Amino acid sequence: MARSSRNNDWGFPRWRSYGASREATTVRLCDRHGCEERGDCPAPKSPNSPERWYFCQEHAGEYNRGWNYFEGLSAEDAAAREADERRDTSGYTESRHNAWAGPGDGSRSRDEMRALEVLELEADADFEAIRGAWRRMAKESHPDVKPGDADAAKRFQAVQAAYDVLRTAEERREWRPD
């Protein structure tokens, strides 16, 4: 009987799963001398070079610990490159807090907006107004001023939590790299 040269991958239904083939899969090994692990983490051979080493995860981590991105650049070139990269990625800093449902300009998160409601302030209040409202409301409902009043204690805790949320957001904005 003649041997069939036809494979099982024709027509419908397929007799083997997609991607299954009879050929051996080529696996690139780690470029580190003596390593027999799979090298699937590319790393540049030198700055501004398209050539890559391919390391396993362990050796890629070792390589990256000693990598200097600005090696071979003058101080002015390094500063210019850093400024360009900061300018190019500045649009992504607004989404750090994942505030998809904040005010129209996207500068405040949903938690910040709730905190402003607790402090009975508008969405565009500055931090001095926030601090003033927090002090006023904390003095009104402090447990030392109204001992034994459970509602006042709850209001005080809510006001304190709202101020903490707004204070950390303000600190984060102050330390934001521009």
Predicted confidence band of residue 133 (pLDDT cuts 50, 70, 90): very high
Give the residue-averaged pLDDT of 95-123. 72
Q: Which amino acid is at 6?
A: R
Q: What is the pLDDT of residues 70-83, one digit of tens each?
A: 777 888 988 888 77
Give the residue-averaged pLDDT of 143-170. 90
Arithmetic mean of pLDDT over the chain: 78
pLDDT of residue 44: 79
pLDDT of residue 138: 92
Label each residue of the chain as H, E or C. CCCCCCCCCCCCCCCCCCCCCCCCCCCCECCCCCCCCECCEEEECCCCCCCEEEECHHHHHHHHHCCCCCCCCCHHHHHHHHHHHHHHCHHHHHHHHCCCCCCCCCCCCHHHHHHHHHCCCCCCCCHHHHHHHHHHHHHHHCCCCCCCCHHHHHHHHHHHHHHHHHHHHHHHHHCCCC
Q: Which CATH number does 105-174 carry? A: 1.10.287.110
Give pTM, 2 decimals: 0.42
Q: What is the pLDDT of residues 13-59, one digit of tens each?
A: 556 666 666 666 778 899 888 999 998 888 877 766 788 888 898 88
Q: What are the boundaries of each domain within the chain?
A: 27-92, 105-174
